[in-house]
Structure 1
Amino acid sequence: MIAMRALAVASALSFALAGCVVGPDYVRPDVSVPAAYKSLDAQASKDWKPAEPADAKTRAPWWEIYGDPQLNALEEKVASANQTVAAAAARFRGAQAAVAQSRAAYFPTVTANAAFNQSRASENVLYKSSAGVTLPDYMLNAQITWEPDLWGRISRAVEGGRAEAAASAADLQSAILSMQAELATNYFELRGTVEEERLLAETLQTYQKALALTKDRFAGGIAAESDVAQAEEQLKSTQAQLIDLETTKSRLINAIAILIGEPPSSFTLDVPPLNAGNVPNPGAALDALPPGIPSTLLERRPDIAAAERRVAEANARVGVATAAFFPNLLLAATGGLEATNFSSWLMAPSRFWSLGPQLAFTVLDFGGRAAARDAARAAYDESVADYRQTVLTAFGQVEDNVTALQVLRRALDAQREAVDAAQRALSKVGNRYENGAITYLSVVVTQAIVLNDQRAAVSIERRRMAASVALVKALGGGWTAGELRVSKGD
């Protein structure tokens, strides 16, 4: 009882000193933000503020802006089935467990021990009364040890652990977003490949008819044998291009299977072509984007949140390293029962106890603690630089993809006009060839131009979709058009 009272008094004293938390208190680093994006209306972007993480907000299914039910169904599987996401989730759980482990240091450690020993003393000893005597020893004891957090070492460790757990949570969101964006990019790439297959298949039918017509003209003495050879070469070359697309198509389907956690060998996927009559709106990301983009959108990027929270974690580690310069106090109390006779083991006279505070202080370590603190400060400076670089990269990614969407929209309009012009030219060239005014080589060249222009248009459409998905990812992926409208009034 005396031991417990003494321990309680010491504990109260330590609590009074617990307010002395050494090390720097965390302050979020300042970051530079632009007044406006150069690709958008600068006048509408006057309310920028320093980016802060807000990744705890509910994330909406951003892929639904494309209105593709098949994509929606695939995306729903990523968070639960993707193995990269599963690994990130496991790291998050580990970080949470580390926080719980750190918090346990706030509380006393209680250990218990029960033992029985039997020993015989030597007959050749100084004290003849115990010579050759065999004695049993029954012991039951408990020990309480506690290190008060006098200088905030434990508090800083818990603070750092919580920051790292929050960073791991943001990493998990980042992994989910990255896998979802990669899936959407591969999906639209696959649809573009299917559209190329459709174009090549239609072109092959045209070339087969042209070859048959050329053979008839050659048989009638109207066309030269070289015309037939050119038509055959064109047909076979286009067949080879169509066959080659099977590799691309298979690779994309396998990539999608892996992203949703399914074996590629048993996964199949049929998707509609990506063409003017059946295309999602790649500008959905841009159309929903308010001029100037309030910085709250960038606050939703999980990588920014993770980087900022790792700054907080590094700051806390500086406090832990600083606390090493101060003495540690350990309070310990032990009590129990010990006897050499079992019948008297549990009686009051068998009680024993001890109480002993211990104060430990490193007098000389030849600069070891100072070096550890300097290393912690350097790690903090590194994390600040990483955080600022992450923010700068985020702004750059939004800028790049906004520009890409705008430029590719104009490029697609021009390319479609080129396709129309090439098709008109092909019609005229075909008429002239049938009238014998030109050789078949002119037809071959014009047909190749039409096909190349059509495939170029598909390529631009694919790039537009990739830029659209990349813009959504750059904005954090967790927004809706309605949320953006609210942000306009910020």
Structure 2
Amino acid sequence: MKAHPSTHLPSLRSGYRLLPLLAALGLAGCAVGPHLPAPTAPLPARYNQHAVTGAQQTQHLQWTEGQSQSWWRLFHSPLLNGLIARATRNNPDLAAAQSSLAQAQALEGVANAGFLPQLGANLGAARQRALRAGTNGGFGTRVPGNPYTLLLGSVDIRYNSDVFGRQGYILKDARAQSAVARAELHQAQVFLGGAVAQAVITAASAHAQARLAQAMAKDDARLLTLIRNEYRLGAQNLQTVDEQEAVAEAAAARIPPLRAAASTARHQLAALLGTVPDAPLSLPSLTELRLPAVIPTLVPSALLKNRPDIQAARAETAAAAAEVGVATANLYPNMDISASLGKAAMTGGMFFNPASTLWAIGSSLAAPIYEGGALHAKKRAAMDHWRVATDRYRATVLNAFRQVADALRAVRSADTTYTHSKAAARSAASAYQLAVARYRDGAVDYATLLNAELEAQKDETAAVQARAQRYLDSAALFVAMGDGWWQDPATPQPFGPTAPARSSE
């Protein structure tokens, strides 16, 4: 019996000799980009030049280093709390910010995959017929050969050694972009809470002013009836009747714009809730809202950590710095290591025979030589982008301090204005009632009564407006401090640190 020669796999010893060199190249990876400093900005000792105090007023500030995650609960309105919770679930802008964060995190996973080997497989079959050479009268010709089947299969692996740190900078950029998206989600939460509170307060203020205007219009109508009766009896002249008619008409004319303002605020609230304008909504009245006597206020150093726009600006500078690193690494060669192991046979039986095994191992080095200065220009552009991001960071920080300083001053001013307006409204209402009684007794003339009436209407309206402005300014302070976002966007925390619940109304 004739012995068949044994078949051995091709030796891999020559490929193994390359492994130490390849490992050394992989371990020699280094970052070639510049080490750019972190952005800095001035930190004031306090927000305002003069301390915002006011111990004699009804509201006080409690300095803290922790955010108020659910500051709207300080208004002690279950309806307001429910509206903000509903907006958090259904607001389309907030949903878009959450999707943007998910997208950025997915792209971060793509960048992280660049550090891992890329493994792929190929399997194919082809039926073909090749040409073969032949002779015909001394002239060379090609005639069709016999058809045959070719089975191919291989497993390929490719790895980028990232010698100059390009992939590392790409990952840093992706992580920074995820941080930007996360901060923008937090900013959307802050703005959403503030916008809902503003719409609710504005609607409540318009309703309160409309009800007050209706009451005033009724009083003016009753007084007009009294003056007309006196005119018929000869106790009044026609000028007095005309003057009171003008006052009554002016009072009635103030009602429609207030109702329109309330509807506008309601429509805005419906959009924030992710619903249509005619959707039924239950809103609190102005008297159902309360503010605590103490408002938790962030110290300046804590503002840098709490404001989402500052966090986003800082992450933008990190992303810009990573882009500088990528642009720098692009100036250097890029090395890939690849290997493949496969089979090639003309029959299924031979496909699994060791003799049909194919393998290859190698590396490639691609280096830029001349690209018309484009790579250096891209690096300069990346550096300029980093400088822009750094300047914007400083501008964002300074603007944040300005907004908080303005909000603090507005809160104190609104608190003082509300205190005096409320006292003025009480005094004007008392004076008006006294003037009406004295006019009926004939002790004062119509001019005195009219002046008392107009002053009472003006002061009562100012008191309602001052109360609403106090709520608006308090909400604006929380928004300016960046309060209202949850530490973990996936798990909202409905309760945050709150101040004592005693009311200052």
What SS does structure 2 have at the residue aligned with 1:385? helix
Q: Which residue of 1 aligns with 2:57?
A: none
Give the aligned CA root-mean-square deviation in angstroms.
2.9
Task: Return the offset for 1:219.
Answer: 2.7
Report the AA paired with residue 317 of structure 2: V
The equivalences for 1:294-309 within 5 A come to 294-309=300-315
1:360 counterpart = 2:366: yes
What SS does structure 1 have at the residue aligned with 2:145? coil
Contact 1:143–1:333 (Cα < 8 Å) also in 2: yes
Q: Which residue of 2 aligns with 1:404?
A: 410
Count matched residues: 465
Task: Return the offset for 1:314.
Answer: 0.7
Contact 1:139–1:339 (Cα < 8 Å) also in 2: yes
1:233 to 242, 246, 252: 246
Task: Return the offset for 1:206.
Answer: 1.6
Indicate the larger mover: 432-441 or 172-181: 432-441
Task: Return the offset for 1:205.
Answer: 2.7
Task: Return the offset for 1:438.
Answer: 6.0
1:70 to 56, 60, 79: 79
Q: Which residue of 1 aligns with 2:113?
A: 104
Q: Which residue of 2 aligns with 1:148?
A: 161
Structure 2 Cα separation of the partners of residues 481 and 103 of structure 1: 35
2:348 to 339, 342, 355: 342
Structure with higher Rg: it is: 2
1:422 counterpart = 2:428: yes
Task: Return the offset for 1:124.
Answer: 6.2
Contact 2:206–2:258 (Cα < 8 Å) also in 1: yes
Are the structure 2 counterparts of residues 474 and 273 from structure 1 closer, same or farther at C-alpha, using a change threshold of 3 Å?
Answer: closer
2:458 to 452, 455, 458: 452
Structure 1 Cα separation of the partners of residues 453 and 444 of structure 2: 14
Are the structure 2 counterparts of residues 142 and 77 from structure 1 closer, same or farther at C-alpha, using a change threshold of 3 Å?
Answer: same
Q: Which residue of 1 aligns with 2:28?
A: 17
1:167 counterpart = 2:180: yes
Task: Return the offset for 1:120.
Answer: 1.9
1:132 to 141, 145, 155: 145
Structure 2 Cα separation of the partners of residues 484 and 424 of structure 1: 36
Contact 1:289–1:484 (Cα < 8 Å) also in 2: no
Indicate the larger mover: 194-203 or 399-408: 194-203
- Structure 1, unpaired ranges of 5+: 44-54, 486-490
Task: Return the offset for 1:319.
Answer: 0.7
Are the structure 2 counterparts of residues 251 and 214 from structure 1 closer, same or farther at C-alpha, using a change threshold of 3 Å?
Answer: same
Contact 2:300–2:401 (Cα < 8 Å) also in 1: no
Structure 2 Cα separation of the partners of residues 254 and 422 of structure 1: 35
Report the AA paired with residue 309 of structure 1: A
Q: TM-score, normalised by structure 2?
A: 0.84
1:464 counterpart = 2:474: no
1:192 counterpart = 2:205: yes
Q: Which residue of 1 aligns with 2:223?
A: 210
Name the % identity. Answer: 26
Q: Which residue of 2 aligns with 1:114?
A: 123
Q: Which residue of 1 aligns with 2:5?
A: none
Are the structure 2 counterparts of residues 484 and 161 from structure 1 closer, same or farther at C-alpha, using a change threshold of 3 Å?
Answer: farther
Task: Return the offset for 1:254.
Answer: 1.5
Are the structure 2 counterparts of residues 279 and 356 from structure 1 closer, same or farther at C-alpha, using a change threshold of 3 Å?
Answer: closer
What SS does structure 1 have at the residue aligned with 2:114? helix
Indicate the larger mover: 161-170 or 415-424: 415-424
The equivalences for 1:248-259 within 5 A come to 248-259=261-272
Contact 2:201–2:471 (Cα < 8 Å) also in 1: yes
Are the structure 2 counterparts of residues 473 and 326 from structure 1 closer, same or farther at C-alpha, using a change threshold of 3 Å?
Answer: same
Structure 2 Cα separation of the partners of residues 206 and 120 of structure 1: 106
- Structure 2, unpaired ranges of 5+: 1-10, 54-64, 486-494, 501-505
Q: TM-score, normalised by structure 1?
A: 0.87
Contact 2:52–2:409 (Cα < 8 Å) also in 1: no
Task: Return the offset for 1:333.
Answer: 1.1
Report the AA paired with residue 30 of structure 1: T
1:90 counterpart = 2:99: yes
Indicate the larger mover: 300-309 or 117-126: 117-126
Structure 1 Cα separation of the partners of residues 102 and 36 of structure 2: 25
Contact 2:190–2:483 (Cα < 8 Å) also in 1: yes
1:385 to 380, 391, 401: 391
What SS does structure 2 have at the residue aligned with 1:106? coil
Q: Which residue of 2 aligns with 1:289?
A: 297
Q: Which residue of 2 aligns with 1:35?
A: 45
Are the structure 2 counterparts of residues 248 and 426 from structure 1 closer, same or farther at C-alpha, using a change threshold of 3 Å?
Answer: same
What SS does structure 1 have at the residue aligned with 2:364? strand
Structure 1 Cα separation of the partners of residues 206 and 284 of structure 2: 10
Q: Residues 154-202 of structure 1: CA distance to partner in whole angstroms, max 9, x if unpaired?
A: 0111011101101110110110110111111111112211221221122
Structure 2 Cα separation of the partners of residues 346 and 456 of structure 1: 93
Report the AA paired with residue 418 of structure 2: L
Structure 1 Cα separation of the partners of residues 389 and 496 of structure 2: 33
Report the AA paired with residue 203 of structure 1: M
Q: Which residue of 2 aligns with 1:247?
A: 260
Structure 1 Cα separation of the partners of residues 22 and 78 of structure 2: 63
Are the structure 2 counterparts of residues 58 and 159 from structure 1 closer, same or farther at C-alpha, using a change threshold of 3 Å?
Answer: farther
Task: Return the offset for 1:209.
Answer: 2.1
Higher strand share: 2
Structure 1 Cα separation of the partners of residues 358 and 458 of structure 2: 95
Q: Residues 424-468 of structure 1: CA distance to partner in whole angstroms, max 9, x if unpaired?
A: 443454355435576545533432232122212222222221111
Higher helix share: 1
